Structure 1
Amino acid sequence: MRLRPIPSALALALLIATSACQKQETASPAGTPAATQAASAEADAKFADLSKRWLDGWLELQPVSATQTGRHDFDDRVDDLSAAGRQAFVDFSKKMLAEVDAFDAGKLSRENQVDLAILRNQIRYDIWQMETLQSWAWDPQVYNSLAGGALYTLMAREFAPMPQRLKAATARMEKIPTLLAQMRENLDPARVPKIHAETVAKQNAGITSIVDGMILPHAGELSGDDRKRLEAAADALKKAVAENQTWLDKTLVPNARGDFRLGQKLYDEKLAFALNSPLTRQEIRTRAEAAIKQTRAEMYDIARKVLADKADAPKEMPDAPSDEQQQKTIEAALELAYADRPARDKVVELAKASTAQATAFVKEKQLVSVPDAPVQIILMPEFQRGVAVAYCDSPGPLDKGLDTFYAVSPIPDDWSKEQVDSFLREYNTRSIHELSIHEAMPGHYLQLWHSNKYPSTLRAVLGSGSFIEGWAMYGEKVMADAGYMDNDPLMQLIQRKWALRAMANAILDQAIHVDGMSRDDAMKLMTVTTFQQEREAAGKWVRAQLTSAQLPSYFVGYSEHLDLRNEVQKREGDKFNLKAYHDKLLSFGSPPGRFARELMLDEPIQ
């Protein structure tokens, strides 16, 4: 997955105005009446002003997110989730929405028409989340992510000299106790799901680990009153975190009794905002179920070839198998892949080696232009563990030349031998290769590098989750189709197993939040239908309870990417060039798939 910050934004008037002019210049074909061109230029300029004012205001109200995206004007602040702070955010959003709704999109360049549509969706989503979803009242993850992110984003990358970042961290450490107090004030235990309370209770100490591991070791770079202030702020914050831990353990966890399931109305509304796709919940499920059936059939064909000369192969592997015969055959072949797995302390090392191998392959096959920016494979920070096994964390659109992090979660120390074995069966040697393809090359790392080069600041900030996650899954298929480890049928089998996981995600999310799917049925879908190991499935069950409308983004985005490529390839015929197609698609930034299609095919913006 790509690490998605709390909604974040970034505004530079010069950059926005420049990109608006660039778009206008390329949007008017020869022969367009001068008056029409002038009207379009005027409309684009007005939109640049509107975008700037919205971005500036959005940033000031969400300073932690501003740091994440590379805007550092507010590095000494944290978000205000008090009643007054929330109301200020809603008032600002409604004022800006009125301006957006009054805008005449028909006068804008095509690129700005897309950005206007993306902006409208985001503002409406912001208002809906604050007034309707109200996660600030029932989800403690909101506060934990802000508290940990406020410090981690300052210290993880060298965007400024250490003393400057330490002073900002000092100011934020002084303010985080107030944020934790707002958590205790705002959360209603009757609405808080127990799984959310338990997860944050485990993550809470991660805030202290950032202070001890990333801030205090550098305290010597400050002197005098600055150092005294930093040390005092650190002490006060650690006490506040300890106080919060007591409240979490003694009050919130024992009394949490909310329902983690969103229900149909909230889920459908959130899905529409989050994906910004024309696909409905029902259409997503139908597509996913059909894709699972097709993928399992492909896996069966590969498995039969793998097992053809094996003495312990299933006795019956007919051309038209029963469900049971198909299941046994695929499982038997997968066992051969599971046998090749890394030691528990070598997962990160293998992730580094597989990323290098995948990068060399992409270059050799000329699949897409490769980044010249660095990527670091790291252990996942403690405060972010417990939701996903890995993520890609790219620098903000303005933090040029800084590292992208491909973070891998370590195996918990308290896991039993059986749990560790289950995890390493799932994340076997070939699966780590697949993970590196998804998170790094040519997945998130590559795509976000392209996206951050796009001149529209607005689109860079409001990147579509389904475009981003869908690209990473699509990248896995591109590598397989290009022959990555082509002489290794077990790698082909693992690639399809990973595709099955994304298909299952799309079903799992809605089945849990809308249809009331039980843990047993969810585990069956994952461990039987899509061949996931118990540890992976158990972790996904937790993740599906803690999140919503994110798990479908992989398959929905993948479907949109594949549909678009097939359509362009059909139109261009023998002239189609895969690298040129990928480079052009990625040059649009990270718009929702519907807009990427309209830009690629030069169709009207809907």
Structure 2
Amino acid sequence: MKKATLSLAVALSLTALAGCQSQEVAEQVSPASIASSQQLSFAQFSTQFIDELWKQAPTWALYSGYHKYDGVLKVPNDASRAEAIKFNKQQLSMLQAFDRDSLSANELIDYRLIENLLKRDTWEITKFKSWQWNPASYNVAGGFAQLINEDFAPLDDRLRSVLARMENVPAYYSAARENINNPTLEHTQLAQMQNKGAFSVFSAELLAQAESSGLTSDEKALFKTRFDAATQSINEHIAWLGELVSKLEKEGARSFRIGEALYEEKFSFDIQAGMSAKGLYEKALADKSRVQGEMAKITAKLWDTYFDTPKPLDDNKATRQLIDKLSSKHVKREAFVDEVRAQIPALIKFVNDKQLVTLDPKKPLVVRETPEYMRGFAGASISAPGPYEKSSNTYYNVTPLDAMDDESAESYLREYNHWILQVLNIHEAIPGHYTQLVYSNESPSMVKSLFGNGAMVEGWAVYTERMMLEEGYGDFEPEMWLMYYKWNLRVIANTLLDYSIQVKGMTEDEAISLMTEEAFQQTAEAEGKWRRATLSQVQLTSYYSGYREIYDFREELKAKQGEQFDLKAFHEQFLSYGSAPVKYVRQLMLNQ
């Protein structure tokens, strides 16, 4: 996520859906024909739905490892949105013709996932309308980078897809400018920065690759022409965004806050947790106090080891002092990415030695510096291959600190200190996101693999942090547990922060105070999280929501099975259902 998710690194949005095939499908298979003659089983419908979806969403298909439409770049204009709505309605009608009572438990979950996907996209286009106020949703770099950097086909074939795809870049950015209306300042600034990063993809190196490739002379000439037109259109768009930023700074801009009604609707679509956003917020408030209490106990135990002075009576003040003392133990700024890379083998060894979950050594994990066009949102993320390319690399993106001044870098390193950096690597890599996404690709249900639930994906990564410490990672060192609780408190604070900012009008000063004074975060981390919370909605709640559901379900199953409970078996069965919402995975596992 991404995250993730599923950053992952790709936002699974169908806003750019378009295509003429949807009408053809509706004519071939009507809802009546499904209901009356059952010409399609649900499995056949699911397969056909995915096939038709990729015609409508070729960039999503590319990220998922389906390469039939790699050369297609959809233009996000009025016509494409109309076609998207039409496609959604047709597919939803076909879906709802099935008798849900006749579906298996597995099929019913797939039904719900497809239904949620189609309804969410229509809601996004017609009501949420971020295509109007979020300029950062327009950036062609990611799809081109996927074609250039992933070795899924011979270079010449991939360059021909790049060539075809470049044709629509000018029209794409022209449509983007037509769409953008009353945007937020924050999203406009992000769009300006990230589109500048597109030139790490549209580079002299790409031109040189094309020139030295096996393309014909005519193809090479056309490649150069389209490359020049694409880079010119990107530059024009960046300049336009710059003027827009200046205007918004002077005249004022739309608020990034979406309000309670839209927030609850988006929460329902994105999290699928079986509770309201307000209910989760209230649960997080209670958990904040509980975790602070656990940290106070550890602080009391460790105080005399690190201080000669009496412990302050205020527990939070004492905890803050101890964390500040311990946080000075961290890697050097120039070694940050290398240290992340060096820790991965130790995590693999621990998981294998403890037999916590089976890891596949044939599925590569590559730690790399975050590509420039992806920077500015999160400091670490996973870019995973889709289920069509299970053997391709998973990238652990880590942003180097060379763009920070000395003060900011030191604050960041204190946040990701000796202990928390290990927790971060558990979360992002082993056995967190990387491991879960490898398993997700192996799910027999393509629907569950492709239409993953962000709360399950993020929740699993958060769950593994505690699980690893419970199993002895860090040798039960109290300092490690203190820092884990600090990290876990950040997950809880994410929910409090996101809801409070988007719904309750929390100010930046109030947000920074919550993160630094009550969640013991460093200033640089808190400032970055504030920025992130102004650029996204609901996603920050996915960590806590998914974690609580997974951990509570595990404890429920342990109580039910007693001595028969097997942790590795639980993990592997849980992960076998792809990235389905936790509430549905729970149903499947309890019904077996």
Common topology (TM > 0.5)? yes
Deviation string 1:65-86 (CA, Å, 9 cap, x unpaired) is 1100011011001123110011
Q: Which residue of the partner structure matches residue 265 of structure 1?
A: 261
Q: 1:306 to 1:217 in 2, by over 3 A?
A: farther
Whether contact under 8 Å (1:379, 1:407) holds in the other structure is: yes
Whether contact under 8 Å (1:43, 1:107) holds in the other structure is: no
Whole-angstrom distance in 1 between the partners of 2:467 and 2:205: 38
Question: Counterpart of 1:195 in structure 2: which amino acid?
Answer: E
Question: Counterpart of 1:47 in structure 2: which amino acid?
Answer: F
* CA-CA distance at 1:573 after TM superposition: 0.3
Question: Counterpart of 2:390 in structure 1: which amino acid?
Answer: K
Q: Which residue of the partner structure matches residue 303 of structure 1?
A: 299
Whole-angstrom distance in 1 between the partners of 2:302 and 2:268: 42
Q: Does 1:6 align with 2:11?
A: yes
3-state DSSP of counterpart to 2:388: coil
Matches within 5 A, 1:193-204: 193-204=184-195
Whole-angstrom distance in 1 between the partners of 2:323 and 2:78: 53
Whether contact under 8 Å (2:75, 2:168) holds in the other structure is: no
Q: Which residue of the partner structure matches residue 557 of structure 2?
A: 568
Whole-angstrom distance in 2 between the partners of 1:214 and 1:330: 51
Q: Which residue of the partner structure matches residue 399 of structure 1?
A: 389
Q: Does 1:215 align with 2:206?
A: yes
Whether contact under 8 Å (1:299, 1:493) holds in the other structure is: yes
Q: Does 1:472 align with 2:461?
A: yes
Q: 1:346 to 1:93 in 2, by over 3 A?
A: same
Q: 1:573 to 1:47 in 2, by over 3 A?
A: same
Runs (5+) with no aligned partner, structure 1: 10-38
* CA-CA distance at 1:202 after TM superposition: 1.3
Whether contact under 8 Å (1:43, 1:108) holds in the other structure is: no
Matches within 5 A, 1:515-554: 515-554=504-543
Whole-angstrom distance in 1 between the partners of 2:490 and 2:293: 15
Question: Counterpart of 2:420 in structure 1: which amino acid?
Answer: S
* CA-CA distance at 1:95 after TM superposition: 1.1
Q: Which residue of the partner structure matches residue 57 of structure 1?
A: 52
* CA-CA distance at 1:222 after TM superposition: 3.5
Q: Which residue of the partner structure matches residue 25 of structure 2?
A: none
Whether contact under 8 Å (1:166, 1:215) holds in the other structure is: no
* CA-CA distance at 1:586 after TM superposition: 0.7
Whole-angstrom distance in 2 between the partners of 1:530 and 1:129: 33
TM value normalised by structure 1: 0.89
Whole-angstrom distance in 2 between the partners of 1:217 and 1:293: 58
Q: 1:312 to 1:45 in 2, by over 3 A?
A: farther
Question: Counterpart of 1:88 in structure 2: which amino acid?
Answer: E
Matches within 5 A, 1:356-395: 356-372=345-361, 373-395=363-385
Whole-angstrom distance in 2 between the partners of 1:312 and 1:181: 65
* CA-CA distance at 1:387 after TM superposition: 0.9
Question: Counterpart of 2:193 in structure 1: which amino acid?
Answer: K
Question: Counterpart of 1:170 in structure 2: which amino acid?
Answer: L
Question: Counterpart of 1:519 in structure 2: which amino acid?
Answer: E
Q: 1:344 to 1:237 in 2, by over 3 A?
A: same
* CA-CA distance at 1:174 after TM superposition: 2.4
Q: Does 1:131 align with 2:136?
A: no
Q: Which residue of the partner structure matches residue 491 of structure 1?
A: 480
3-state DSSP of counterpart to 1:395: coil
* CA-CA distance at 1:235 after TM superposition: 1.9
Whole-angstrom distance in 1 between the partners of 2:38 and 2:469: 45
Q: 1:214 to 1:519 in 2, by over 3 A?
A: farther
Deviation string 1:524-568 (CA, Å, 9 cap, x unpaired) is 111111011111111111111110110000000001001110111
Whole-angstrom distance in 1 between the partners of 2:399 and 2:506: 28
Q: Which residue of the partner structure matches residue 42 of structure 2?
A: 47
Q: 1:439 to 1:351 in 2, by over 3 A?
A: same
* CA-CA distance at 1:43 after TM superposition: 6.7
* CA-CA distance at 1:217 after TM superposition: 4.6
Whole-angstrom distance in 2 between the partners of 1:8 and 1:452: 19
Deviation string 1:461-510 (CA, Å, 9 cap, x unpaired) is 10110000000000001111111112532222111111111101111111
Question: Counterpart of 1:316 in structure 2: which amino acid?
Answer: K
Deviation string 1:81-115 (CA, Å, 9 cap, x unpaired) is 11001100100101111222222111112111110
Matches within 5 A, 1:574-593: 574-593=563-582
* CA-CA distance at 1:429 after TM superposition: 2.5
* CA-CA distance at 1:439 after TM superposition: 0.5
Whether contact under 8 Å (1:8, 1:62) holds in the other structure is: no
**Aligned counterpart in structure 1 of residue 417 of structure 2, from 428, 446, 450:** 428
Q: After alignment, is 135-144 or 462-471 more displaced?
A: 135-144
Whole-angstrom distance in 2 between the partners of 1:258 and 1:214: 39
Question: Counterpart of 1:514 in structure 2: which amino acid?
Answer: V
3-state DSSP of counterpart to 1:340: coil
**Aligned counterpart in structure 1 of residue 144 of structure 2, from 123, 137, 151:** 151
Q: After alignment, is 171-180 or 192-201 more displaced?
A: 171-180
Q: Which residue of the partner structure matches residue 19 of structure 2?
A: none
Whole-angstrom distance in 2 between the partners of 1:495 and 1:580: 25
* CA-CA distance at 1:149 after TM superposition: 1.5
Whole-angstrom distance in 2 between the partners of 1:377 and 1:162: 23
* CA-CA distance at 1:253 after TM superposition: 4.5
Matches within 5 A, 1:23-42: none
Say how many residue pairs are matched: 561
Q: Which residue of the partner structure matches residue 136 of structure 2?
A: 141
- CA-based RMSD: 1.9
Q: Does 1:79 align with 2:68?
A: no
Deviation string 1:246-286 (CA, Å, 9 cap, x unpaired) is 10111355236111001111111000000111121122112
* CA-CA distance at 1:45 after TM superposition: 5.0
Whole-angstrom distance in 1 between the partners of 2:286 and 2:360: 35
Q: Which residue of the partner structure matches residue 408 of structure 1?
A: 398
Matches within 5 A, 1:329-340: 329-340=318-329
Question: Counterpart of 2:194 in structure 1: which amino acid?
Answer: Q
Whether contact under 8 Å (2:441, 2:449) holds in the other structure is: yes
Runs (5+) with no aligned partner, structure 2: 15-33
Q: After alignment, is 124-133 or 206-215 more displaced?
A: 206-215
Deviation string 1:189-221 (CA, Å, 9 cap, x unpaired) is xx2010111111111111111121763352212
* CA-CA distance at 1:427 after TM superposition: 1.6
Q: 1:363 to 1:336 in 2, by over 3 A?
A: farther
Whole-angstrom distance in 2 between the partners of 1:309 and 1:72: 59
Whole-angstrom distance in 2 between the partners of 1:102 and 1:383: 43
Whole-angstrom distance in 2 between the partners of 1:52 and 1:582: 28
Q: After alignment, is 582-591 or 213-222 more displaced?
A: 213-222
Q: Which residue of the partner structure matches residue 278 of structure 1?
A: 274
Whether contact under 8 Å (1:366, 1:579) holds in the other structure is: yes
Q: 1:592 to 1:253 in 2, by over 3 A?
A: farther
**Aligned counterpart in structure 2 of residue 92 of structure 1, from 81, 87, 92:** 87
* CA-CA distance at 1:229 after TM superposition: 2.2
Whole-angstrom distance in 1 between the partners of 2:92 and 2:307: 67
Whole-angstrom distance in 2 between the partners of 1:507 and 1:327: 18
Question: Counterpart of 2:392 in structure 1: which amino acid?
Answer: L
Question: Counterpart of 1:392 in structure 2: which amino acid?
Answer: I
* CA-CA distance at 1:430 after TM superposition: 1.9
- The runs of at least 4 aligned residues of structure 1 exceeding 6 Å deviation read none
